[in-house]
Structure 1
C-alpha cells in the first residue's frame, strides 16, 4: 500500500481507523458477518474460523464506521442483523458462546482439546460490543427496534451465575458439555477480564453477587501491586504491568476516566501501565534493534515463532502497533509519535489493505503479514474513544451497566 505524505494528525488517525475497519467489513465472514480470527489461516480450519470476542470488537468498529459515515447507518444495521441472527442460532452453552465458531454453520470449533464449550471472557467482549450497538441504534424504526430486541434476548440468555460453578465466589472461564469444569480456570485479576465481572454483575436475568467480584476477581497473588517502575506507580497487576492489552479490552466500552473502586483508580492504572511499558522500551535493557521513544509497545501478538504475550518480563524484540495505538486515550502524544514511526518509517513493510500488520521484530528482520481481530479492533475503538469518546458514552449509558457498577461500589462521573 502506498504511503501518503504530509498528513495532518487528524487525517492520519482517520486513515488508520478507516483502513483498519476494512478488516471487519471487507473481510467479515460472508455467511455470518462475524469477524474472522485472523487474516492468515487459523488452526487449519481455513476461512471459516470466526471469533466471539473479536466479533464484539468488530461490532464496535461498525458503530464507529456508521458514525463517521464510512458506511451508511442502514448498511451497518443490516450487517448487525446478520451477525445477531447468526448468533441466535449458533452453538452456545448456558447462553455463553465458544471462543471460536464455524462462520458458515454456527458449530463450535474447539479452541483446545478441552476448550470446546462456553468461553465467558470471549462472550463478555462480544456483549461489550452488542450492548454498545444497542445503545447506538436507538431510533424508533422497525429495523432498529428489532435489532435492540434481538440483542436484549441474547444478552438475557447468558447464565453468568452458572459460571460460578455451583455458587462459588469466583467466575470460571470455561464450561463444556463434554469436559465439564475440567479446565478449572478461575478468572482472577489483574488482567483483561474486568469487563467479565462487570457484565456478570450487571445482568438482569442471571447476575452474580457483588461478593463474587470482591472475593474472586480481587483476590489473587497478582492483583494488588503498588510498587514503582521507572518512578511510575503501578496500582494493580504484575510487575511492569504485563502485556498492554490488559488496559485495552475491558476499556473499549468501560470508560476509565474517573472510574474508581476500593482497589484502584482505573485511569491511573491504565495510563501508568502504558507509561511503564513505554519506558521499558525506551530503556531497552536487552538491546533490541529499533526500540526507542518512536517505537514501543509490548502486548500479545504474532511473532517470528508463533504467538506470544509480550511484556517487559517476556520480551523478545517484537513490537505490535496495536499496543501503542490502542493506548491513544492514555498517552496521546507518545502514541502519535509511535503512529508516525509505524506509518512513515515502517509503512512499506507493515502497512496493508487492513491497516497495520500484526507485529514486527527488527532484530530478526521479521515482519508479520497477518492481522488478528483482537489486535485490529482496539486500534479503531480506542482511537475513537480518544477522538470523541463515542464508545465510552454509549456503553456507559446502558442502564444495566450503571446498576452493575453501583452494585460493585464503583464511582464514575458517568454514573447518574
Structure 2
C-alpha cells in the first residue's frame, strides 16, 4: 500500500488521540474502572477496562501520557480486580476468575443484574496481558503490575465454563446459573478460545476449539469467499490484540486463507453491500458503509422506499442479512483501516467533512432519520468499546505495537498452538 498523504495521517492521528482521551476523562482513578459510555450515570464495563489497559502503552509511546501515570492507572485496575469479591453472589464482582459484565463505578460490585461474561472477561484479561508485556522495567511498580496480571490470568477457571462437554457457555448468573446458549458460528470469541487454551492452570479442553469451528459458516458473497459474520466488530475485536497475518488453524488451512485476510474480505463485502443499498437508505454507498454493533435511533417507524421501516436502537447490525435500519458505525469503519486502508480513508475523509469527529467517533449515525433541525441522527456521547477499538486498531496499522506486545506473550503463543495454528510468526 502506498503511504498515506500527510493530511490523512494528521487526520487519523487526531482521531486516535481523541479516542484515547475517553479513558482520560471517564476512568475512576481510585480503582481503574472505566465507564461503559460517556453518558451521565454510566456503569463500568469490564471489557472497556481491558481496552484501557491496552491503550495506555499506546499513549506512552505516542507521548500522550507519562509512563508513571499509565503505570498507576493500570495498577489501580489490577489491584482492584485482584482483591475484588469473587464469591459469585449478586453483590460480588465476579467468580471463578471471571467478572460481571457491568460493575458500579465506585464500589466495583455487580450492576444491572448483569451476567458473568466470558467474552468481556476475556477482553479484560487481554488488556492485563498487554500491560504486562509493555511495562517490563525492574521498578517496584512495574514488577507488581506484571505479577498481578499473571496471577489474575492464572486465576481464571476456563474449564468451569465448559459445564456440558466441549462447548463454552456465554455466561452465568447467580440467580439462574449458566446461560442456556453457547458460542455458535464465527464470532469475537476467537480470542476467548486462544486465551482459554493458553492457560497454564485451568485451560479449556483441546476439543473445545474444534467443536466451535465446526459451527463456522463459509459463504460466497458478492464474489468473495469468506468466513461469515455479519457485523464488522466480529472481524475486528480479536485482531485488536492478536496478529493473525500468515498463521492458520485447520479451518483456514483448508480454505487457503487466514483470519486477517478474511477480515479484509469482510470489509470489502460491507462496502459492496452499501453500494447496492438494497433497502434504499440515505448515506449508504462507496463513501458511506459500515454496519456493526452500536447505538441507533429508537424513533417511530417511517416511510422508506415505499415501506414502513422500523429503527432498532442499540443493536448488532450486519451484512447482508441484517438487521439494517440505515445506521452506520464510524468507529467500526475506521477500525477496518488495518485491513483495507484504500477504501477506509476516503470514507473517513468524507464523514469528517460532513460531520467532523462527532460523526466518526459516535457509536452510530443515521442519515435517513433526521433531527428536528433537519440534521442526520447521531448517537449521544461516546462508547468506550468503540474508542478503545480505535486506539488499538489504528496503532496496529501505524506501528503494530499491540500485535508485537502480544506476540511476546507465552500464553498467547501456547493458546494459538493448542488451537492448531501454524506458520508465520509462530514458526520457531
| TM-score normalised to structure 2 length | 0.87
Match of 2:289 in 1: 296
Structure 1 position 371, deviation (Å): 1.1
2:142 is the counterpart of 1:137: no
Question: Matched residue of 1:291: which SS?
Answer: coil
Q: 2:268 aligned to 270, 275, 291, which one?
A: 275
SS in structure 2 opposite 1:364?
strand
- State the shift of 1:350 in Å: 2.6
The answer to whether structure 1 residue 397 and structure 2 residue 408 are counterparts is yes
1:190-201 aligned at under 5 Å gives the runs: 190-201=186-197
How far 1:12 moved relative to its partner? 1.2
Q: Which residue of 1 is the match for residue 22 of structure 2?
A: 23
Root-mean-square deviation (CA), in Å?
A: 1.6
* Residue in structure 2 matching 1:174, options 165, 171, 176: 171
Secondary structure in structure 2 of the residue aligned to 1:327: helix
Gaps of 5+ in 1: 1-5
Given the alignment of the two structures, is residue 361 of structure 1 paired with residue 356 of structure 2, yes or no? no
Question: How far apart are residue 316 of structure 1 and its match?
Answer: 0.6
> Alpha carbons of 1:111 and 1:373: their partners in 2 closer, same or farther (altered >3 Å)?
farther
Q: Is the 8 A contact 1:350 1:369 kept in 2?
A: no
| Structure 2 unmatched runs, 5+ | 85-92, 253-257, 299-312, 371-376
1:147 and 1:362 map into 2 onto residues whose CA distance is 45
Partner of 2:148: 150
In 2, Cα distance between equivalents of 1:295 and 1:250? 25
- What does 1:290-329 correspond to in 2, within 5 Å? 290-305=283-298, 306-312=313-319, 313=321, 314-329=323-338
The equivalent residue for 1:413 is 424
**Cα displacement string for residues 180-218 of structure 1 (whole angstroms, at most 9, x for unaligned residues):** 22x222123311111111110000110112111112x11
Counterpart of 1:376 (choices 376, 381, 387) is: 387
Shift of 1:219: 2.7
1:229 corresponds to which of 221, 224, 230: 221
1:214 & 1:348 partners in 2: Cα distance?
A: 42
**Which residue of structure 2 lines up, in the alignment, with residue 3 of structure 1?**
none
The aligned length equals: 388
CA shift for structure 1 position 31: 3.3
Other-structure match for 2:200: 204
The aligned residue for residue 45 of structure 2 is 51
Partner of 1:77 in structure 2?
A: 71
Task: Say which SS state the counterpart of residue 172 (structure 1) adopts.
Answer: coil
Q: Greater CA deviation, 30-39 or 144-153?
A: 30-39
Give the structure 2 partner of residue 100 of structure 1.
102
Secondary structure, counterpart of 1:75 in structure 2: helix
C-alpha deviation, 1:7, in angstroms: 6.5
Contact persistence 1:134–1:148 (CA under 8 A): yes
1:349 Cα deviation (Å)?
5.5
Matches of 2:297 and 2:409 in 1, distance apart?
41
* Cα distance change, pair 61–283 in 1 and its aligned pair in 2 (3 A): same
Q: CA deviation at 1:176?
A: 3.0
Shift of 1:393: 0.8
Q: 1:66 aligns with which of 60, 78, 92?
A: 60
Q: Give deviations 1:146-202, integer Å, cap 9, x for gaps.
A: 100011111111000111016x11111112333222x22212331111111111000
Matches for 1:333-348 after TM superposition, within 5 Å: 333-347=342-356
- What's the TM-score, normalizing by structure 1? 0.90
What SS class does the counterpart of residue 314 from structure 2 fall into? strand
